[in-house]
Amino acid sequence: MGSTPRRLSSEDDRNKGSTVNEWHKSSYSQGETSCVEVKEGSHSVLIRDTQNRELGHLSFNSPEWTNFLQEVKDGRL
């Protein structure tokens, strides 16, 4: 599936000049109280726990994120 995701703080993300959209609730968190938020950009996807936003986020490059989603959809994860 690629390299291990790394946890970055919001400041790290800003320093890298990331061009990402606004955070939004993942469609996989339908009606749940424990939600995941996603922020998608042209080269990266960031994910974070809505209940622990202050802990930062995980960062995936676009191919890693696509592979992860395919693994989930195929029931391998």
Question: Strands of 36-40's sheet, edge to edge?
Answer: 6-8, 57-61, 44-49, 36-40, 24-25
Q: Tell me the average pLDDT across 2-12.
A: 48
Q: Is this model's pTM higher than 0.85 or not? A: no
Average pLDDT over residues 2-14: 47
Task: Give 45 or 77, the one with higher predicted confidence.
Answer: 45
Q: What pLDDT is attached to residue 25?
A: 86
pLDDT tens-digit profile of 26-66? 776 766 677 889 898 888 999 999 889 999 999 999 999 89
Separation of alpha carbons 53 and 35, rounded Å: 11
